[in-house]
Amino acid sequence: MGGRRLSPGQAVDALDEAIDVIRGVWDAGNREPLRIDGTYYQLHGAKRGPAPAHPIGIRLGAYKPRMLRLIGRKADGWLPTLAYLDSVQALADGNAVIDEAAHEAGRDPRAIRRQLNVGGRFGADPGDQLLTGPPVRWAEQLTTLALEYGVADFILASDDPQAIAVFGEQVAPAVRELVAAERAR
């Protein structure tokens, strides 16, 4: 939209400040006018409010260490896209960076939700890729991502009504069931 051009590093810093601005504006109960004297954002006694109806989680789609550390420090969720990850190992690595940054900031790593945009293909024949094949195969793989990689929210990227229906009616209930059963053990 024609905004200023920032280097990737500057953009992380600007985002860091932006989170403070957003949280500051939402903090409508605070009588103090909002003052932020940042490198990228300056607010000189801005009016706060309105406060949202519930605590809106700020989640970031991130892949590199500086952003992941920002998540550990300040964000409420990590939302990468499966297709942009080199492998599921990248999920484990990212989780470790986030957890460490959270500890350093004195936060409980469990305060940060792990989310994942997923896409794939439904069909009779299981392929050698993640999330290809019948709904039951999807359910098994998502269960593994939930139990071993901590993913709590799975978001299907699709404009195919039939795929959305299968995901909602078959995959999601199966994953809930499998995860609940495993956690109960």
Partner 1 sequence: MTSDRTADHGHPLRFGIAVPPAEPGAAVELALSAEQLGLDLVTVSDDPDALDAWTLLSWIAGATNDVGLAVDGLDLVRRPAAVAARAAASLDLLAGGRVELGLTPGGAEEAIEIVRALWASDPTPVTYSGTHQRLAGAQRGPAPAHDVPIWVGGGAPDLAGRVADGWSVTLPGLDPEARRAGLAAVDAAARAAGRDPREIRRIATLAGPVDADLLEALARDEGFGTFLLATGDPDALRAFAAVVPVVRARVAVGRSGAGVQVGSIRSAAVRARRRPGIDYDTIPAALVDAAVEPGDLRYAGVRSNYLRGGAPGLVLRPRTTAEVVDALGYARRHDVALGVRSGGHGVSGRSTNDGGIVIDLAALNGIEVLDPAARRVRIGPGARWGEVAQALYPHGWAITSGDYGGVGVGGLATAGGIGFLAREHGLTIDHIRAVEVVLADGSVVRADEHHHPDLFWGVRGAGSALGIVTSFEFEADEVGLLGFAQLTLDASDTAGLLQAYGEAVEAAPRDLTAFLILGPPRRGRPAAATVMAAVDSDDPDTVIDRLQPLAGIGPLLAQQVVLTPYPGIVSPPEPGLHQGRGEPATRSALVEHITPGFARAAEDFLHSGATYFLQFRSVGGAVADVAPDATAYAHRSANFSAVAFGANRRRLDAAWDEMADHFRGLYWSFETDRRPDRLLDAYPPATLRRLQEIKSRYDPENVFRDNVVVPAPRRVGSWRPDGSPPPGRAPSRRRPHPEPRSSPPRPCGGARPCRRGPGSSGRREAPPPLRHPAPARSRVRRRRARAWWASSGR
Between 53 and 180, whose beta carbon lies closer to partner 1? 53
Please give the backbone phi and psi of residue 54, each rounded to the nearest 5 degrees, phi first. Answer: -145, 165
Query: E-assigned strands of the chain?
Result: 34-37, 42-46, 59-60, 77-78, 113-118, 121-122, 132-133, 153-156
- The span of 8-16, 67-75, 114-122, 160-168 binding partner 1 (CB under 8 A) equals 160-168
Q: Is 54 in the site for partner 1 (CB under 8 A)?
A: no
The span from the CA of 178 to the CA of 142, in Å, is 10
State CA 112 to chain mean position distance. Answer: 8
Between 2 and 106, whose beta carbon lies closer to partner 1? 2
Q: What token pair was written down for 80?
A: 């990468």
The residues in 58-87 that bind partner 1, with binding defined as CB under 8 A, are none
- The span of 16-24, 45-53, 148-156, 174-182 binding partner 1 (CB under 8 A) equals 45-53
What lies within 8 Å, CB to CB, of 77 at 6+ separation is: 57, 58, 59, 60, 71, 112, 113, 114, 115, 153
Q: Is 5 in the site for partner 1 (CB under 8 A)?
A: yes
Q: Is 1 in the site for partner 1 (CB under 8 A)?
A: yes
Token pair 């939930």 is at which residue?
146
Which position among 31, 47, 54, 183 is part of the footprint of partner 1 (CB under 8 A)?
47
CB 83 to partner 1: min, Å: 21
Q: Is 27 in the site for partner 1 (CB under 8 A)?
A: no
Q: Which residues bind partner 1 (CB under 8 A)?
A: 1-5, 47, 49-50, 160-162, 165
